Structure 1
Amino acid sequence: MLNRRSFLRNVGITGSLLTAPSLLLKAQPAATAGNIDLSSFTLKGKVLSQGKGIANVSVTDGINITQTDKNGQYELVSNATATLVYISVPAGYAIPEQNSIAAFYQPINKNNRTAKYDFHLSKLTVDDRKHNFVVWADTQMISKADAEQLKAQTVPDLQALLQSYPKETLFHGIGCGDLVWDHFELYEDYKAAIAMCGIPFYNVIGNHDMDLDARTDDHSTHTFKQQFGPTYYSFNRGDIHYVVLDDVFFIGVDKKYIGYLTENQLQWLEQDLALVKPGSTVVVSLHIPTFTGAARREKKEPELGGMVTNRKQLYKLLAPFKTHIMSGHTHFNDNWEEGNIMEHNHGTVCGAWWTGPICGDGTPSGYGVYEVDGADIKWYYKSTGFPKEKQVRVYPKGKVKNAPEEIAANVWNWDNKWKVEWYADGVLQGPMEQRVANDPWAEELYAGPQLPKKHKFVEPMLNDHMFFAKPAANVQKITVKATDRFGNVYEDTIG
């Protein structure tokens, strides 16, 4: 297997030059080593569909944003620190793709002081105000064996899900970071898995997608950009404006990072959102969650790599919109909502790093599914290998060690608008008690220094989605019914 450094050395020279970190780019030879080339040049071109220009399409170099005129033409003054020119795909058009990877960008040729970059789009034949998307958090493969599990388990599950919807249903995917686990040669396996699914995927950079031998954060995105394009960008589908951000800030020490959004991104995002009508629904995808309940559950200060430190600045920019934030990184399910913002921190495709069928909080390996109708979004968590109706797992008395007389239920995609009730021999007993606790199956699989055998660092994690009740001794059958905010009822029965 190629190691990281060998792999990077073998990357083609041309690709390296086109996507090199900004401080190393030279439009022409510099007299003094280390000089930063800030010379300006002009990016220009058209955004077209069947030869006809498309108006009001946002075009950016990752620094500033311009929009096409009525003829689809754009012109943007850039400088030699920019590496890519890309568009925010407008609503009503198909997502351009190459083997199911979204292809909305072009590398900038620094040898031309005025360079032309045209973008060609295809108009959709269906109304994209209704569409769906899936969020794959942390495919995180460290070996070919992991890659084969992705292809043998997750891919067929998503294929079956797509086939369960009407044929004309629009779907896209979001790979929510940690696409691999530091082994960049496995990007080819990730891409192969995506191609098998047959829907376009946009991708997010995670902490395990960074060049860890980089000198600074600026240089840590080099390989990811070669593979998937820019690390922050936007696109549109129907009435929804989508934004992808890079919130993994590499601090220059191997595998050390913080959750942080750079000023470059925030100033770019401010421009991007200025073109979105206030009150619109915005979906923001990033790897490290902006916030979770982990610190409260663990009763300790959060690690700087566990949440976005300057998240309040992001929230200020999102204040005019109805926002859903999609994140991964934690390997547990954690939904929170405040005001106009709801964050969905997803359980992972790899579960507990491909060690077993569940994450550390008991959430099954799987992914989020989101159904869009106009500005409204509904969602559910799809457990790999199970029907979408599988949303709760009930444990009999004795399974939870510190509550031996109680039954327990894990409702992994719970949020504060769910209702969780229980029935004893068919008779409604009322709501169950929510408590912070560990999932007993996760304890069985992962607790202790010798478990699991594959990755011994995996441990059970406290969660907010455990529910408890104390049945009478003579009860024979217990059913738990969990009703989500959309009125969907899910149940599990024991006895």
Structure 2
Amino acid sequence: MKKFSMLCCGLMMASAVQAQSVVKGFVFNDLNGNGRKDKNEKGLAQVSVSNGTKVVQTDANGQYELPVAKDNVLFVIKPSGYAVPLTDDNLPRFYRLHKPEGSPALKYKGVAPTGALPASLDFALTARPEADDYTALIFGDPQPYTLEDIEYFTRGIVSEVEGIKDVAFGLSLGDLVGDNLDLHHPYVKAVKRVGLPWYNLMGNHDMDYDAKADSLSDDTYEAHFGPANYAFNVGKVHYIILDDILYPDPRDGKGYWGGFRKDQLDFVENDLKFVPKDQLIVLAYHIPLHEEGEGDAFRDDDRNRLFSILKDYPHTFSLSAHTHLQRQNFHGKEQGWNGAKPFHEYNAGTTSGDWYSGEFNIQGVPSSTMRDGTPKGYAFLRIKGNQYTIDYKVAGEPKEYQIRIHTPRVVPAGGNTSSGIYANFFMGHEGNSVQYRIDNGAWKDMAFQAEPDPHFQRLVHNWDYTEYLPAGRRPSNPVKSTHLWRGAFPNNLTEGKHTVEVKAKDMFGREFTQTQAFWAEQKAQ
């Protein structure tokens, strides 16, 4: 009889899971922080809630209703002036996984069966003042492949920002790990040490490679971090976080392709219906929307629809990573953008640099300069109302270090040389004003150069010509930099020490300078 009762109960629960097609609940101000809606806690009106595609707003009582299927992540879109609960690891908990039967059989298991939803699925928020001017910390591609790489990431990056003050939150731009999804947990533990609420997005190395459909390739990511597509507000900024990796590639079923599914773009369109036009819209995703010289790296139709959805928002820009380079991408009509000014995408330098390669530095971690000559590091997104600026911080260097000057150590005195003075302006792009002068002389313009950084070339050559193999791993081969300038040496240098000074102005109108010494000597007779 007992077995029969248990069987009936199980069948009833399975039937309830199968029949569940609507979810209801409240978004409320959690006054005592216990995560439950108590009698004295009021619902919050006009807060957006989503099932990953459809977006609705709560009514005057804070209640919402959404359709639900067998594979949804249900989440609240945090409004400005409120905080969401955090896990012990500082991960925002603004969602509920709904996969009653769990993930299909996967190497990394994915999501365990979640069972039926409660009668009322409520989302707790806590009222908290937020400034319109603030800073966010941005990490590109931590991408550890081993626990040893986790240690390099922790010592080389996390330790430098541990306990940082006056920063609102952090965001990692995908490739949180390098294919081994068991490393998601130690990655989270490392980033916890920064001490900030930390948002994440999915990269191509965070996927379930054995998934049979793109909609399932993020299951293990969801188990650790929640939805791969979501949004939140801080101050006068609306952030939209997206998974832009199509896997398996719909063209041939192999590898991946940059792009979005229809339901993802439907989410963006539905979400923005409730966002004022004067807000700054910040999109964050992993693969850049267009990569010069990379062929067909992103599906054009998806980028075109995204740009069409954004067309009425004059204050918009995006963050990406993936390339292990640093670039300022400006999308115009050729890429489907028809705004009054080009759509700016900051393709961020990475915290892993060139995949933890290169000789070991004084911290005992790989120097890992990227192939375009950008040192590894991280970025600060500075917000003032609905305007933004970006600062790149080179790991292990003062914040003022924004330009690397490359010159020969010694050049001919009183003669010509084919050598040049190179300036790698890490946050620069073609069209910036970059000038140089020697020994406090007159300023001269430097010429933009679409070529490899000679400093990085030297780093690679060190490995190719050494007689004793150094610790670490050879860097990747150089590629053309998008932020390199060149100036010529004068032919009237006197013998002795000289100083070259470079100044550069970025896209935000800020000026940076750097100096370096070199020597001039008479040619041997």
Please tell me the residue identity of whatever aligns with 2:374: T
- Match of residue 90 from structure 2: 100
Query: After superposition, where does 1:67-146 map in structure 2 within 5 Å?
Result: 67-82=57-72, 84-98=73-87, 99-108=89-98, 110=100, 111-112=115-116, 115-125=119-129, 127-146=130-149
**Deviations for 1:408-453, whole angstroms, at most 9, x for unmatched residues?**
0100111356321101110133221001011122223336996998
Relative distance call for 1:480 and 1:105 in structure 2 (3 A) is: same
- Match of residue 22 from structure 1: none
Query: After superposition, where does 1:408-423 map in structure 2 within 5 Å?
Result: 408-415=422-429, 418-423=432-437
The 1-side partners of 2:409 and 2:295 are apart by 32
**Deviations for 1:456-476, whole angstroms, at most 9, x for unmatched residues?**
682212112110010213442
The alignment's C-alpha RMSD in Å is 2.8
- Percent of aligned positions with the same letter in both sequences? 30
**Greater C-alpha radius of gyration:** 2
Please tell me the residue identity of whatever aligns with 1:45: F
- How many Å apart are 1:454 and its aligned residue? 5.4
Please, what TM-score do these two structures have when normalized by structure 1? 0.84
Contact between 2:319 and 2:347, CA under 8 Å: does it hold in 1? Answer: yes
Relative distance call for 1:261 and 1:370 in structure 2 (3 A) is: same
Contact between 2:402 and 2:512, CA under 8 Å: does it hold in 1? Answer: yes
**Deviations for 1:153-201, whole angstroms, at most 9, x for unmatched residues?**
20122237x34xxxxx342111100000011121122111111001111
The 2-side partners of 1:179 and 1:410 are apart by 28
Give the match's secondary structure for 1:422: strand
Q: 1:480 aligns with which of 486, 502, 511?
A: 502
- How many Å apart are 1:308 and its aligned residue? 6.5
Please tell me the residue identity of whatever aligns with 1:342: H
Query: After superposition, where does 1:329-368 map in structure 2 within 5 Å?
Result: 329-337=322-330, 338=332, 339=341, 341-356=343-358, 357=367, 358-368=369-379
The answer to whether structure 1 residue 459 and structure 2 residue 477 are counterparts is yes
- How many Å apart are 1:28 and its aligned residue? 3.6
Relative distance call for 1:288 and 1:426 in structure 2 (3 A) is: same
Give the unaligned 5+ runs of structure 2.
1-12, 32-40, 101-114, 333-340, 359-366, 411-416, 518-525
- How many Å apart are 1:270 and its aligned residue? 0.6
Please tell me the residue identity of whatever aligns with 1:350: S
The 1-side partners of 2:134 and 2:198 are apart by 14
Relative distance call for 1:453 and 1:324 in structure 2 (3 A) is: farther
Please, what TM-score do these two structures have when normalized by structure 2? 0.79
Give the unaligned 5+ runs of structure 1.
1-26, 31-35, 164-168, 296-300
Indicate the larger mover: 417-426 or 205-214.
417-426
- How many Å apart are 1:309 and its aligned residue? 6.3
Relative distance call for 1:173 and 1:115 in structure 2 (3 A) is: same
The 2-side partners of 1:38 and 1:428 are apart by 78
Contact between 1:417 and 1:484, CA under 8 Å: does it hold in 2? Answer: no
Contact between 1:288 and 1:329, CA under 8 Å: does it hold in 2? Answer: yes
Please tell me the residue identity of whatever aligns with 2:441: V
Contact between 2:430 and 2:448, CA under 8 Å: does it hold in 1? Answer: no
- Match of residue 18 from structure 1: none
Indicate the larger mover: 423-432 or 485-494.
485-494
- Match of residue 450 from structure 2: 436
Contact between 1:179 and 1:190, CA under 8 Å: does it hold in 2? Answer: yes
Give the match's secondary structure for 2:74: strand
Give the match's secondary structure for 2:53: coil
Relative distance call for 1:64 and 1:246 in structure 2 (3 A) is: same
Contact between 2:91 and 2:199, CA under 8 Å: does it hold in 1? Answer: yes
Query: After superposition, where does 1:291-310 map in structure 2 within 5 Å?
Result: 291-292=290-291, 294-295=292-293, 302-304=295-297, 310=302
The answer to whether structure 1 residue 325 and structure 2 residue 325 are counterparts is no
The answer to whether structure 1 residue 471 and structure 2 residue 471 are counterparts is no
Q: 2:154 aligns with which of 151, 154, 172?
A: 151
The 1-side partners of 2:82 and 2:480 are apart by 43
**Deviations for 1:106-141, whole angstroms, at most 9, x for unmatched residues?**
12374547632111122224x321111121110000
The answer to whether structure 1 residue 314 and structure 2 residue 306 are counterparts is yes
The answer to whether structure 1 residue 190 and structure 2 residue 187 are counterparts is yes
The 2-side partners of 1:254 and 1:149 are apart by 35
Give the match's secondary structure for 2:224: helix
Q: 1:46 aligns with which of 4, 9, 27?
A: 27
Give the match's secondary structure for 2:126: coil
- How many Å apart are 1:390 and its aligned residue? 0.7
Query: After superposition, where does 1:166-245 map in structure 2 within 5 Å?
Result: 169-245=166-242
The answer to whether structure 1 residue 369 and structure 2 residue 380 are counterparts is yes
Please tell me the residue identity of whatever aligns with 2:26: G
Please tell me the residue identity of whatever aligns with 2:24: L
- Match of residue 395 from structure 2: 384
Relative distance call for 1:49 and 1:186 in structure 2 (3 A) is: same
Give the match's secondary structure for 1:225: helix
Please tell me the residue identity of whatever aligns with 1:435: Q
Query: After superposition, where does 1:247-326 map in structure 2 within 5 Å?
Result: 247-251=244-248, 256-292=255-291, 294-295=292-293, 302-304=295-297, 310-321=302-313, 322-326=315-319
Contact between 2:430 and 2:483, CA under 8 Å: does it hold in 1? Answer: no
Relative distance call for 1:397 and 1:284 in structure 2 (3 A) is: same
